Amino acid sequence: MSLVFRPKHIFGETFLSLRRNFLMGFTAITTVAITLFIVGVFSIIVFDIQSVLNSIENQVEVAVYLKDNISDDLKAYIEEEIKEWPEIEEVVFISKDQALERFKTQYEGSDILKEIQGNPLPASFEIRLKDPQKIEQVALRFVDKDGGNIEGVDEVIYGRNYVRKLFSITAVTGTIALLIIIILVLATIVLIFNTIRLSIHARRKEIEVMKLVGATNWYIRAPFLFEGSFEGFVGGGIAVLLLYFLNRFLLIKGETALVETMRIKNLALLGSNNVIIFIYLAIMVVGILIGLLSSGFALRRYLRV
């Protein structure tokens, strides 16, 4: 069996090196912990922002107001047509009487109710979509070839300008968030790589001596790789611990406020999809991989592989 696969040699050299080069190891672990902690915090914030925007998107509806003289057959025909469209999540018919009752409830106690004579409110269909991005596509189906509304439909309202701005904001925010996360991860890799590289550079004489006495590259490399992955593991663990306490005492309060005020359920900490568990695991895995890869690349110069 090659020397590189002897655990006693690897563990012994690793922890001896960490003890001899305590300051360098401490710097590398601190760097990993701080940078991954920042990435974790930002990931939670970005996920929650996207959840808020998606929740607002899902509240977008098409309101189709019908003419008062529409026949029951034509109303039933339009309703069946709407239900056949693949984009439709739900369609609800609101009669004139239901619309009036809803209006009275909304403006209960207001003087405006005294001005209403009879029932001036129209019947309507309220349409929710599976994909809110297709709202204009659905709304245009109520327009005839002359640019007016189809027979029986008086008006179609879906907040055209509002919807376009909302979708633009969602798209831009998603792109910016993705770019920032990529930049943060790249900055983390560069920062950790340089820290470990400096640590290995400070020990170049030690590596040269080992080569002079005939040690193989893998014999020299293995303890450094294990040391790098160990520093990444410890740094990632500290980052997770810091993130846990930040979540428990600060971020979770912000999410609780979002749930109570906006009824948003799909959040990083309070959601049922265990996003925070994936973030914790990702931090640990990224920490170990960055430590391992950084050590490997930094060693290449001194081993002349």
Query: DSSP letters of 98-130?
Result: HHHHHHHHHTTT-GGGGG--S--PPPEEEEEES
Per-10-residue mean pLDDT for the chain, 305 residues long?
Answer: 58 73 82 88 86 80 91 92 92 92 84 78 92 87 88 86 78 83 79 74 78 79 84 93 91 82 78 85 91 82 64
Contact (Cβ atoms closer than 8 angstroms) between residue 122 and residue 98: no
pLDDT of residue 6: 66
Question: Token match 């129209």: residue?
Answer: 122
Looking at the DSSP bridge assignments, the partners of residue 156 are: 64
Q: Which of 183, 155, 196, 219 is nearest to 292 (CA)?
A: 196
Distances (CA, A) of 216 to 64, 121, 170, 211: 77, 87, 55, 7
Could you say which DSSP state residue 263 is in?
-
Answer yes or no: are the C-beta atoms of 234 and 31 closer than 8 Å.
no
Rg of the Cα trace of the chain?
31
Contact 286, 71 (CB under 8 A): no
Residue-level pLDDT at 4: 47
Q: What is the pLDDT of residue 1?
A: 43
Q: Which of 213, 58, 198, 182 is nearest to 130 (CA)?
A: 58
Q: Quick one: pLDDT at residue 80?
A: 93
User: What local confidence, expressed as pLDDT, does residue 20 receive?
Assistant: 73
CA distance 29 to 19: 14
Sheet holding 88-94, edge to edge: 88-94, 124-129, 61-66, 153-157
